[in-house]
Amino acid sequence: MSRPIRYRPHHFLCTIGFEGKGYSEAFTANMASIVDGRLRAKGGDDLQIEVVGAADDLCAPCPKRRGNLCTNQTQINRLDRAHAAALDLAPREVLTWGEAKDRIRQNVPKGSLATLCEGCQWEPYGMCEAALARLHDAD
């Protein structure tokens, strides 16, 4: 069995809203390979994700990455704290993608991302909120 995908807390919701856009070509290709190629692929709900508190598998090729940190670390810390609290995520916790989606459905109501994701440059585009609504409607 392969090692779990490593995710910082706010990336759980980023994955829901991902539409093939990102910070750079390399970042977008990496995110697409994880999100579309693994988590959204057949059997993706069974893949394990480990919660981490620093740069993760999505961050690997990000142009904003500086070692295990980000050029916007203050904002990233705020997002991670808010998302960890909302989803009841603990450091080093391992859960499946299906379990993560269940937590999102149970704990992140439609219309809440403007507050939960406040300050994220992607939030104003509405793609994450639309994806969250689709996740809820799929119940």
Residue 72, token pair as written in the block: 């916007």
Residue 129, token pair as written in the block: 């909120």
Adjacent-strand bridge partners of 66 = 69
The string of DSSP codes covering 98-136 is HHHHHHHHHHS-TT-HHHHTTT-TTGGG-HHHHHHHHHH
Kindly tell me if the per-residue pLDDT of 75 is higher than 80. yes
- Please, which pLDDT band fits residue 1 given cuts at 50, 70 and 90? low
Q: What Cα–Cα distance (Å) separates residue 46 from each residue in 5, 9, 59, 75, 95?
A: 12, 18, 22, 30, 9
- Please, which pLDDT band fits residue 67 given cuts at 50, 70 and 90? confident
Write the pLDDT tens digit of every residue in 87-133. Answer: 999 999 999 999 999 999 999 999 999 999 998 989 999 999 999 99
